[in-house]
Amino acid sequence: AQSVSQHNHHVILSEAASLELGCNYSYGGTVNLFWYVQYPGQHLQLLLKYFSGDPLVKGIKGFEAEFIKSKFSFNLRKPSVQWSDTAEYFCAVSWGTGRRALTFGSGTRLQVQP
Amino acid sequence: DAGVIQSPRHEVTEMGQEVTLRCKPISGHDYLFWYRQTMMRGLELLIYFNNNVPIDDSGMPEDRFSAKMPNASFSTLKIQPSEPRDSAVYFCASSRSTGVRDQPQHFGDGTRLSIL
């Protein structure tokens, strides 16, 4: 079965530290890649997406992600985190050009300390 | 521009009762998804619809769960009878097809369901 892995379950950083969250997916041809963020008590919000083209994708709030096809990875990065980035981050993937359903990773809980 | 609207926001009920969760997708979106989020299993897709037709219900846990989409602006997820292990946050999401590639899904605020 196709799967999405997020290896960092809980990350604690100080403000201004750099962030990189890992996401790997299982092989399956064409992929559509997403990162969502869920602030405490809120719904999921899209941070960024990749369909094709430039593998370095810029999203909202200073986040970016790089698609590395050879590594089946789509890691999320931010050069300098803020306390307000405290949230849970989900990588999500859909395979192919017809199936719309997303498979989510288990999520990474980011805690930014002031 | 209204987002995905779910109701109720919170539901507490006793085991064995019927539970109905409701979702109104964003106008113009032709895909609707139901997800369940728990600590143990994370976010799981339950079922999704395209143009009101169920496309994939392989994630529906068992026959106690059913989902309908009678029209483009409304969907329900029903659990009958409910069990404590159904306690979770249920999210509805919708998206718009613009070709062969996926467009981002927009999520509702979720329904926090507690079965006592």
Distance (Å, whole) CA A63 – CA B7: 32
Amino acid making up residue B35: Y
Q: What is the pLDDT of residue B42?
A: 86
8-state DSSP, A26:
-
DSSP per-residue letters across B35-58: EEEETTTEEEEEEEEETTEEEE-T
Asked if the model's pLDDT at residue B99 lies above 80, the reply is no
Amino acid B2: pLDDT: 78
Please, what are the averages of pLDDT over each run of 10 residues along chain A (114 residues)? 88 97 88 92 90 92 94 96 96 78 91 94
> Can you list the pairs that A65-68 forms with residues at least 24 positions away whose Cβ atoms lie under 8 Å?
A65/A33, A65/A35, A67/A33
pLDDT, one tens digit per residue, over B41-89 is: 888 999 999 999 999 898 898 899 999 999 999 999 999 999 999 999 9
Paired residues of A58 in beta bridges: A64
Set of chain B residues whose Cβ sits within 8 Å of the Cβ of A45: 107
Pick from A111, A19, A102, A103: nearest CA to A61 = A19
What is the length of chain A? 114
Instruction: Looking at chain A, list the stretches that DSSP marks H as alpha helix, in order from N- to C-terminal side.
Output: none
Residue B101 pLDDT class (50, 70, 90 cuts): low
- Predicted confidence at residue B86, as pLDDT, reads 96
Q: Distance (Å) from the C-alpha of residue A9 to the closest C-alpha of chain B?
A: 12
**Nearest Cβ partner for A97 among B101, B108, B109:** B101
